[in-house]
Structure 1
Amino acid sequence: MSLPDSAPADSTPADVAPDDNPLSSPSDLPYGLPPLDRITPQHIVEAIEAGLEAQRKEWEAIATDPAEPTVDNTVVALERSGRLLNRALTIHWTQSSSCIDDVVTDRDEWLAPQLAAHTDALYLDQRIFQRLDAVHDQRDALDLDAETCRLVERIHTDFVRAGAALDAEDRQRLSDLNRQLSEAGARFKRLLVEGTKANAVHVTEVAELVGMSEDALASAAASAQEHDLEGWLLPLVLPSGQPAMSSLTDRRTRRRLYEASVTRCLGGPHDTRPIVAEIVGLRAERAALLGAPTHAAHVIADQTAGDADTAMETLRGLVGPATANARVEAAELEALLLADGEDGPLQPWDWAYYAERVRSDRYGVEEEALRPYFAFDAVLRDGVFAAATDLYGITFVQRDDLPTYHPDVQLFEVFDHDGDGLGLCLIDPWSRPSKRGGAWMTTLADQSALLGGRPVVTVTHNIPRPAGDGPALMTVDAVRTLFHEFGHALHGLFSDVTYPRFSGTSVPRDFVEFPSQVNEMWAFDPAMLARYARHHETGEALDPAVVERLEAVGTYGEGFATSEYLAAALLDLAWHTIPPGRTVAADDVEAFELDALAELGLDLPWIPPRYRTTYFAHIFAGGYSAGYYSYIWSEVLDAELVQWFGEQGGLRRENGQVFRDRLLARGGAEDPMAAFEAVRGRPPTLAPLLERRGLSS
């Protein structure tokens, strides 16, 4: 598909999508679900182009309004702008993660610099900023409700942080930096997708795959067939650790899989190191232009952590307990390795395999033996959905009459406790070559009273596609992840705000993971397990004794898990606390990473960072730069709320309603930490998290 430089090729006015474009007007489908079955790539390009121009005209009308600036004609007018563009972008963002092909990737790279320039056109417009400034100055004298007052403050802060107060020369330089960064991020994303595909491990002898389950082998065989290969193909997932490494008995195959993972995009045609060096330098320069000492300082100043030092020190406080536990775990695993007659020392590709042995021998919990009890449909309907019904009174009805963006997707209408329609939830469970790795939640439509929008959310996973007519069997970790991502979906579905700026998950980045992590607590709640953990062939419930052992095994391996996470989170901060003027050459990227981990005490020989620099998509192609710390920061809050739920009697409707009304429904409409403390009754502490992770000693 050819992409326009500035406008669609036909003669249609640039700010009006053609009438036959299904994105040209709001959808008349239930809840504003986009007509996903009728949207072509050209429709998306046309609507983006028309949407960009339409919103520029809306902004110009605000900037040139002869009336004195008010909340309605300036702040709320900004909130109303861009509806056509938003409709088009939601489809593009969904495709750019779940339906990736050359057309989508080309469009992603075409769009990135245009969108950066478009955003700058707003935030650097002095006429609009002056109007906002005037409204902001008089906000205390206006009779504003709490959410509108917060809107005025937040939008004014957005403009200041985006550089609106800079002089003309610095604003131009900032715009140049933003464009370069958007282009670099799009290139990183493309190379990572291609490099991850290229490093998939091809195996031609089944003996090298002993230990893998039948359905995992079938999935690997299907992957090979899709690539016209004989044998089996093991595609890589995004983190360093690969799922098959816990079951493969062949040490050489485990090593191949590990090395393919940690060396992706490190040299060769998919080398991302030059882009990393470029991004880090540009971000540091931009931070200095905005008056911050580092990129991390600029980013975290607007998060609940408040400043980079606080985030760094919180993480550093966990390093000692985590690595001490990891060393004890490593010694035990190495003893098992040597007892097997293998040559020492313990290697990174051995860890998951022998840790699984410990779980099986000590706790009687073997991942592969548990998978028949975790059939996807049962986990989703009798686990994830059932827990939401118990807590919030909501129910789910599958709708096969509504369009989806891929045949794999299952669509559900969600009804509130009073029977009223609440929204739609699209579940996209299976891995496929056109989908990036990992799991995530997004929205196709946001709730807001101002625009009359109701929520349409998506939950995307990467579970191996079931072989034939059999069920998809999930690992324990995949079950936990499904509950986690559905926690984000609930955040979107329960949104009850006036302005789209605050809808659903539009909260500080270091708070957004908190509600989803809370939802994980129901995954292995004994009462819930009794309902959904049943053998897919016999219907037999998971033995209660196994449930008890699952609870006991919960803290085993936290030395490893916490260390690999901390290594990635602190590596993120290390890259983004590089001061302006200091450069890291592409050839020095790996050395910088190793030196940073050594300085932090996280250079453990058996534990790589969860993401190494060259494939750290969260921070170089996503929205988590200087923000990967937020997972553990949110988990501090999560551990506190799990404790609160226990104190209040657990899985009860009353507890769910409090959590929904006081936290989930409010989105970003009030200070999230104030909302948290209103429920918990006090500020959070680190103690519940340390206890949960078995690190308190």
Structure 2
Amino acid sequence: MPNKPYRLLATASVISAALWLGGCSKQPETTPEDTPAAADTAQADTVAADTNPFFTDWDTPFGAPPFGEIKTEHFMPAFEKAMAMHMAQIDAIANDDSVPNFANTIDQMELAGAELTRVARVFFNLTGTESSPELQELQRQISPMLTRHSNQIQMNEALFKRVKAVYDARNDSDLSAEQMRLIERLYDGFVRTGANLEGEARERLAAINERISALTTEFGQNMLNDSREFILVLEESDLDGLPQSAIDAAKAQAESREMPGKYAITLNRSSVEPFLQFSARRDLREKAFKGWALRGDNDNEFDNKENVEEIVQLRAERAKLLGYKHHSDYVLTNTMAETPEAAMELLEKVWAPAVAQAEKERQWILELMAEEGADFELAPWDWRYYAEKVRKARFDLDQAEVAAYFELENMIEAKFYVANRLFGLTFEERNDIPVYNPVVRVWEVKDAAGNAIGLFYGDYYARPTKRTGAWMSSFRNQQKLAGDVKPLIINNMNLNKPAEGEATLMTFSDAVTLFHEFGHALHGLLSNVKYPTLAGTNVPRDWVEFPAQLYEHFIEQPYMLEKFARHYQTNEPMPAELLQRIKDAGNFNQGFATVEYTASALVDMAYHRMEDVGEIDVRAFEDEVLTALGKPEEIIMRHRSTHFGHIFAGGYDSAYYAYMWSEILDADGFDAFLEVNDIFDEETSKRLYDYIYSRGDTLNYLDAYTNFRGRAPTTDALLRNRGFN
């Protein structure tokens, strides 16, 4: 997933995951257009003399952040100065005596805040990857500051008056299609964030935004800290059933914590899920599973239940203040789904067949347990273990056998290969780009003509300072308003780092995630728009996942597996019969996976469709919602509320359904390649670039899809791919 960007007029609920999207700092290698400077000249001269690295020229390739020069103590003064500069720029725009037009108002708003953008992007990327007590304390201070700053801008009456004047005159102003899209987005943003409120209502909205900012920041930090608290230390005798790759990873985890001779399981998904899948020790599986399920719900200093309750209450109150029925109504009016009812219709359409399929899978598991003489009831910590046994029995498919063919270096080469075949891109690794951790790698990305289009950073390994999961973010977004500004895009994963000299083996699921996040990265790298607010992944959640999920399909294709799925020791390609077994088992356990995901999406919608929110008992709320839906007892939510960072710290609130919505698009969309019997078809690839990857938020989403596909999407491919029809 991409980090939810922090727009100039964003509501506070996204600030804890925020990355500012105002103007972007220019790289030295670009040629600026003759656009008016947003900052006062004298003020700019003062800042240039500052020794803080955020206010000096970055003499690095592509103007990349000079991480070796940036210290924790630089952030607070940099934020304070950058916010003051930004506010001065906004005041100059708002108080301009000239007649408002696009150039003197909207262009200047887009250019404003370049210094703040620069600081915030570095800071929030580091809080997710190199967290420390000092950075966490700074984040708790800075997030409310940014919210107050945003409130001042979004409620600036003089500024809104000028924006409204440009908006009202838009049809008579000879605007380009991109300019028309931008003014409509900006005007709508002002209205949705309270520009029309007055008096006490305006003050209350500002207070709500600031409080939500603090709560979402605390939620994310609690999630990270509580995950770090858990470690399952194993002895040699505790390793029954684990494949060698999992043993090696657990040994490396222990050694990194100075526990020689031991093995360690952490709550990073790449550590705990293989343990649950293969460990023959039921008692240890239970410990690991409960550690995973109870993150943020341990009644300790990192407990998130009260944070969940207050966030939901405040979101509902804010929606009412702004004239919406509930938070879901507020969020989804600006998405492809458009209404909560449309999102719920999709989830409910998938839920019933998923539960039915999960029941079939449950019966297979119970039959195998009976054959083995198991004398206990099937529990959630048993499902993955026995499902793996069923998979092996029914399809002769051992995931440990499969993992030997998915080595990280080969998969990186594979994702670059697809980008080359589709879009003509090439990737040259650079060792002269500063990085914030030695494991981070950087590639210069070039187009088919050999022109550099940006940098791609890969941060693939888990560590205690890094939040769990996988995501895409950026240190700079593409734009053309301030010159030919090239993007600096980053992918994060949490693979187990092997011992020195050992290969990094991945599950097939990890390989799919690698491709997914790179799809997001390409959405940022291939962006070709003028205005930063409309660039790259700055689109609604139920559209942003489409390019990423479509990219996943390429690693699943036989051609790609034959070419890149090679044994990490022998370099031999995956045998044809193993390829066939993978294909035959393709839909195995899809009932489990779909119930797990959809349960989380339905709880998200339940929280945010409440109109009058009183006290919430988080555990009871989850149980009530999911029991009423008939969720199988042995399957829990993929993300329980207390560690559901997507919706309480990551900007997917009332939008977790987006992955399923986007799956309609990606399944149907990839069929465009299959229908012409060429997964790299030139004409289809060109339409994919023209209407999806390069367009940012410059087109209506249904129009963009229809231009790519030639028709509106259908759900047929989604249901087929999940084995539900």
CA distance in 2, matches of 1:400, 1:226: 25
The equivalent position to 1:601 in structure 2, one of 630, 636, 642, is 630
SS at structure 2 position matched to 1:345: coil
Report SS of the residue matched to 1:61: helix
1:60 aligns with 2:91: yes
Aligned to 2:249: 219
* Aligned residue number for residue 6 of structure 1: none
Indicate the residue corresponding to 1:627 in structure 2.
Answer: 655
CA contact (8 A) 2:268 2:462 kept: no
Show the 5 A alignment for 1:104-143.
Answer: 104-143=135-174
- Give 1:323's aligned residue: 355
**Matched position secondary structure for 1:16:** helix
1:200 aligns with 2:228: no
User: Are positions 1:413 and 2:441 aligned together?
Assistant: no
Residue 485 of structure 1 pairs with residue 517 of structure 2: yes
- Once the two structures are TM-superposed, the CA of residue 76 in structure 1 deviates from its matched residue by 1.2
1:174 counterpart (205, 228, 251)? 205
Matching residue of 1:568: 600
8 Å Cα contact 1:15/1:53 also seen in 2: no
Q: Which consecutive unaligned segments of at least 5 residues does structure 1 have?
A: 1-11
Q: Does 1:536 align with 2:544?
A: no
Conserved 8 A contact 1:334-1:344:
no
Deviations 1:179-207 (A, max 9, x none): 0100111111121111111133233x322
- Name the SS for the 1:242 alignment partner: helix
- Measured in 2, the distance between the counterparts of 1:97 and 1:412 equals 21
1:656 and 1:550 mapped to 2: Cα distance?
27
TM-score, length of structure 1 as denominator length: 0.95
- Provide the secondary structure at the position in 1 that maps to 2:696: coil
Aligned to 2:383: 351
- 1: distance between equivalents of 2:657 and 2:537? 18
- Checking the alignment, whether the CA contact within 8 Å between 2:358 and 2:591 is kept in structure 1 is yes
CA deviations 1:372-431 (Å, max 9, x no partner) are 2111111111x1111111111111111011111210001101110111111110111111
What do residues 117-159 of structure 1 show as CA deviations (whole Å, max 9, x unaligned)? 1111111111111111111111001111100111111100000
Residue 657 of structure 2 aligns with an amino acid whose one-letter code is: Y
CA RMSD of aligned residues (A): 1.8
- Deviations along 1:1-45, one digit per CA (max 9) or x if unpaired, are xxxxxxxxxxx9998376322221453433332222221112222
Deviation at 1:336, TM superposition (A): 1.0
Residue 239 of structure 1, CA deviation: 10
Residue identity opposite 1:45 in structure 2: M
- Counterpart code for 1:596: V
Instruction: Name the structure 2 match of 1:618.
Output: 646
TM-fit CA distance, 1:572: 0.5
Q: Which residue of 2 aligns with 1:29?
A: 60
Amino acid at match of 1:197: R
Aligned counterpart for 1:287 among listed residues 315, 319, 322: 319
- Number of the residue aligned with 1:257: 288
Give, as a single letter, the amino acid of the residue that structure 2 aligns with 1:157. D
Q: 1:372 aligns with which of 404, 408, 412?
A: 404
Q: 1:93 to 1:377 in 2, by over 3 A?
A: same
> Structure 2 stretches of 5 or more lacking a match?
1-42
Identify which range, 648-657 or 683-692, moves more after superposition: 648-657
Segment drifting more, 234-243 vs 154-163: 234-243
Distance 1:657 1:54 in 2: 42
Question: Is the 8 Å Cα contact of residues 17 and 23 (structure 1) preserved in structure 2?
Answer: no
* Comparing 29-38 and 473-482, the one that deviates more: 29-38
**Conservation of the 8 A alpha-carbon contact between 1:16 and 1:51:** no
| Pairwise CA distance, 1:268 | 2.4
Aligned to 1:275: 307
Q: Does 1:692 align with 2:721?
A: yes
Q: Which structure has the higher relative contact order (CA within 8 Å, separation 6+)?
A: 2
Contact 1:455 1:493 in 2 (8 A): yes
Q: Secondary structure at the match of 2:443?
A: strand
Q: CA deviation at 1:211?
A: 2.0
Q: Secondary structure at the match of 2:581?
A: helix
- Asked if 1 retains the 8 angstrom alpha-carbon contact of 2:272 and 2:288, the reply is no
Between the aligned partners of 1:445 and 1:489, the Cα distance in structure 2 is 12
Q: Counterpart of 1:87? A: 118
Residue identity opposite 1:611 in structure 2: H
Structure 1 residue 305 corresponds to structure 2 residue 337:
yes
Measured after TM superposition, the shift of residue 532 of structure 1 is 1.1
Paired residue secondary structure (2:68): coil
- Counterpart residue type for residue 673 of structure 1: L
Q: 2:704 aligns with which of 675, 679, 684?
A: 675
Counterpart in 1 of 2:47?
A: 16
Per the alignment, residue 363 of structure 1 pairs with 395
Q: Contact between 1:376 and 1:474, CA under 8 Å: does it hold in 2?
A: yes
Give yes or no for the alignment of 1:660 onto 2:701.
no
Q: How many residues align?
A: 679
Determine the C-alpha separation between the residues in 1 that align with 2:393 and 2:671.
30
Distance 1:387 1:261, change over 3 A: same
Query: 2:687 touches 2:707 (CA, 8 Å); kept in 1?
Result: no
Which residue pairs with 1:390 in the alignment?
421
1:499 aligned onto 2:528 = no
1:645 aligned residue: 673
> Is the Cα contact below 8 Å between 2:252 and 2:498 reproduced in 1?
no
1:580-602 Cα deviation digits (max 9, x unpaired) = 3x3124xx211011001112232
